[in-house]
Structure 1
Amino acid sequence: MKKLLKMLKIYPMMKAFSRLLFVSLGRFPANKRLVIFESFSGKQYSCNPRAIYEYLVEHDYDLEMIWSVEEANAEYFRKRGIPTVRRFSLRWFYLMARAKYWVTNSRMSLWIPKPAHTVYVQTWHGTPLKKLAGDMDEVYMPGTNTLSYKENFYKEAAKWDYLISPNRYSSDIFKRAFGFKKNMIESGYPRNDRLHLDNAQDHIDAIKKIYDIPVEKKVVLYAPTWRDDEFYQAGKYKHELKLDLDLLQREIGDEYVIILRMHYLIAEQFDLSRYEGFAYDLSVGVDVNDLYLMSDVLITDYSSVFFDFANLRRPIIFFTYDLASYRDKLRGFYFDLEVEAPGPVVTTSAEVLKAIQTFENEGFGAFEERYNDFYNTYCYLEGGSATKKVVDQIFVSEAK
């Protein structure tokens, strides 16, 4: 207990010192060619920052580009020759303070001050079903309360110079929920360009081979979100696997494999040894677009992944075993999922199995019209050119 109290006393002092160091380094001349990228707090090489980075590399922009990464995840970058800086190292402070651009998809620590010369590009990371920030009635996350959470979110969002939106629906929510008043780029998500440009069978087969997925098997992707009130500690959330893998293996294991993709905040390490050759955990170090492209069916719950996956016009099943508590207590939704979902909303593994078999035998059937309406509402901007729109609006216009 004494050690814990000592750490709590030291932590505010460390934040104050770090902020002072950042401000001091920010007085050095700005590097107008330097772009710092970060995805999910330095945990991944993924999402919209990755799409923007790869576009800038491919098109030979005269920029110095470096990724901010946690040391535990740095090896992935090193193997691919991607320039990195260790998050919160002295060199990181120096580079961040001098950079012309920050490009990230999630909030940074509130103590990090944004230099006047820096353009902060917040790409965000999903179309919202569940309520966000200022729209939330109650916050159940550890280490905060409702008032503090909202105030801190507004303070962070005030630093953003650009915010990327995938559609008009999201733009309206982002402005209100984040209190965002600067430059909204309503372009579609850069990360979803691949879902249109690489959606060909030869690409899909090649991706399966990379991850040792049998080319001849169909793929079910299970990608649930996290629960705000189920956690080990702040930033590390529990997840009890409710999907009955034994049932699925027994009934469809000859034709299908299943891939688990847990949310990046979920801390679980699942032992799938008994399901070897049927179930694969590809939650870490994998581009989610690879998983989308090689999957024939998506199973999710309240995760924003279904908005992205809908670009492929493939079946989606909503396994919502705790729908009432999640919707009515934890978060609240922006629309009625049971009415607008572009696929069946089910609560048991047996119903999941039945839905897979129905799609296999009958196609979209009763969900075809609803799926088309959903696509036209949320995916209408995404056809393979979102990254170019973003780069032109930020890096081309800011350079003038």
Structure 2
Amino acid sequence: MRIVWNADNGRYADNPRALYEAWTAHGQDGVDHLWLASSRQAATFPPGVATVPIGTPQAVAALEAADVLVSNTHIQLDRWRKRPGATYLQTWHGTPLKRIHRDAAYQPPDDVMAELDDDIGRWDLLVTPSTEGTRLLRAAFAYPGRVLETGYPRNDVLFAADREARSARVRAELGLPHGTMAVLYAPTYRDDEAAGRVGGLDAPLGLDAEALARRLGDNAAVLLRLHHYMYRQSRPANGRQVQDVSAYPNISDLYLAADVLVTDYSSAMFDFAITGKPILVFAYDLEHYRDRLRGFTLDLETEAPGPVLLDQEALTAALLDLPVVAAAQAERYARFVERFCALEDGRASERVLQALWSGSLPPG
């Protein structure tokens, strides 16, 4: 059996990584695994993991020879054709808070949308994190096919028996003393800032991380986890209280290490909510993003798991009074978790793999 894996167009990450590691932990014989790797990310793959450069004829040949394809995003390689009998498992990469594909206010050119629709037409199975996630993803992609409603494999680590040890290890790696409040800032990208996916050159960060760290004091640190589309985005130099963790291998480990998440319109809030730790929504460009760029799948100001804060002063005040702010959001947070995270229990990878191995797939 030949399996080709793809995450974020050439990274070793996300749901495909979790499924790959769960699969290989079983040590099955007669299975060849091959990852698509971008030139910027090739060195970050673990030793022994076979890769092929994405965007090359070799990558197209690998896709067309595969028995199983696993991806968390569209595979946009010219002229590739799925082999008859092959299974294309699409995990996607998050519950959509921002509107995506045909649902979004911003639309790429028609030829790009046609290419994306062609890819959707190849999908045999779509992994979803919740019943609500199924509804949103089906609608956005006009996808009528089979669904595995299992929870997200990438979140299994948040339930791992060694999660406390993982948290301690990451905090030690980042030099965070005991008692330091770790503030994880994980925003999404803006289509008008990442146009052409050139890395967000000169795009504003949205947050003055150094000023925030000064206001929070010596017992706090701000961890910047910028979107991989924004790899050239301007950011402050690393220091004791502000660190760029955008290249950290697994964001789930950062979720375990952080004390609070600050995000905007990222699906990170759905994953982080599993931890039960506070979430603050820093929506400094709310009207632009909601009304002109993307739009939302829920009423952010009434349904998000934390307060929606429109400027840095309000964000700072919330962080300085975090226990009180979190307590005030507890009921809304619980409703959010029940709606979007009820399937998450640390066994999503097992459920997906069992469905593939046993052939007990939902009807098409």
TM bracket, shorter-chain basis: over 0.9
Shift of residue 149, structure 1, vs aligned partner: 4.5
Shift of residue 96, structure 1, vs aligned partner: 2.2
Corresponding residue number in structure 2 for 1:46: 13
Q: What is the RMSD computed on CA atoms of the aligned residues?
A: 2.0
Match of 1:258 among 212, 216, 222: 222
Corresponding residue number in structure 2 for 1:107: 74
Letter in 1 for 2:21: E
Shift of residue 215, structure 1, vs aligned partner: 4.7
Q: Give a deviation string over 1:276-333, Cα, whole Å, max 9, x none.
A: 1111111125211111110000000001100000000000000001101110111111
Letter in 2 for 1:380: A
Pairing 1:382–2:344 present = yes
SS at match of 1:48: helix
On the 8 A contact 1:110/1:155 being kept in 2, the answer is no
Aligned 1:13-52 pairs, distance under 5 A: 33-42=1-10, 44-52=11-19
On the 8 A contact 2:127/2:149 being kept in 1, the answer is yes
Letter in 1 for 2:239: E
Aligned 1:160-309 pairs, distance under 5 A: 160-198=123-161, 200-231=163-194, 233-238=196-201, 239-273=203-237, 276-309=239-272
SS at match of 1:265: helix
Q: Give a deviation string over 1:28-72, Cα, whole Å, max 9, x none.
A: xxxxx1111111000x21100000000011112232112110133
Shift of residue 199, structure 1, vs aligned partner: 6.6
Greater Cα shift, 101-110 or 224-233: 224-233
SS at match of 1:376: helix
Shift of residue 193, structure 1, vs aligned partner: 0.6
Q: Aligned partners of 2:205, 2:147: CA distance in 1, in Å?
A: 38
On the 8 A contact 2:199/2:233 being kept in 1, the answer is no
On the 8 A contact 1:205/1:215 being kept in 2, the answer is no
Match of 2:118 among 132, 136, 155: 155
Q: Aligned partners of 2:58, 2:112: CA distance in 1, in Å?
A: 30
Bigger Rg, which one: 1
Pairing 1:394–2:344 present = no
Letter in 2 for 1:369: E
Corresponding residue number in structure 1 for 2:307: 344
Q: Give a deviation string over 1:133-175, Cα, whole Å, max 9, x none.
A: 1222442xxxx42x44443332210101111100111111222
Q: Give a deviation string over 1:181-234, Cα, whole Å, max 9, x none.
A: 221111110000111115743221112233444455221000111111123534
Pairing 1:57–2:24 present = yes
Shift of residue 88, structure 1, vs aligned partner: 3.5
Aligned-residue sequence identity (percent) comes to 34
SS at match of 2:306: coil
On the 8 A contact 1:50/1:191 being kept in 2, the answer is yes
Q: Aligned partners of 1:66, 1:40: CA distance in 2, in Å?
A: 15
Greater Cα shift, 294-303 or 87-96: 87-96
TM normalised by structure 1 equals 0.84
Q: Aligned partners of 2:178, 2:347: CA distance in 1, in Å?
A: 29
Corresponding residue number in structure 2 for 1:17: none
SS at match of 2:67: strand
Structure 1: where are the runs of 5+ without partners? 1-32
SS at match of 1:258: strand
Letter in 2 for 1:178: F
Letter in 2 for 1:209: A
Structure 2: where are the runs of 5+ without partners? none
SS at match of 1:71: coil
Distance 1:173 1:61, change over 3 A: same
Pairing 1:319–2:287 present = no
Shift of residue 93, structure 1, vs aligned partner: 3.4
Q: Aligned partners of 1:179, 1:201: CA distance in 2, in Å?
A: 40
Shift of residue 378, structure 1, vs aligned partner: 0.3
Pairing 1:95–2:62 present = yes
Q: Aligned partners of 2:102, 2:195: CA distance in 1, in Å?
A: 25
On the 8 A contact 2:159/2:345 being kept in 1, the answer is yes
Q: Aligned partners of 2:298, 2:171: CA distance in 1, in Å?
A: 35
Q: Aligned partners of 1:328, 1:198: CA distance in 2, in Å?
A: 43
On the 8 A contact 2:182/2:258 being kept in 1, the answer is yes
Corresponding residue number in structure 2 for 1:66: 34
Q: Aligned partners of 1:158, 1:205: CA distance in 2, in Å?
A: 44
Distance 1:202 1:374, change over 3 A: same
Letter in 1 for 2:172: K
On the 8 A contact 1:110/1:156 being kept in 2, the answer is no
On the 8 A contact 1:259/1:279 being kept in 2, the answer is yes
Corresponding residue number in structure 1 for 2:92: 124
TM normalised by structure 2 equals 0.92
SS at match of 2:122: coil
Q: Aligned partners of 1:359, 1:325: CA distance in 2, in Å?
A: 28
Q: Aligned partners of 2:291, 2:9: CA distance in 1, in Å?
A: 29
Q: Aligned partners of 1:36, 1:285: CA distance in 2, in Å?
A: 24
Greater Cα shift, 46-55 or 232-241: 232-241
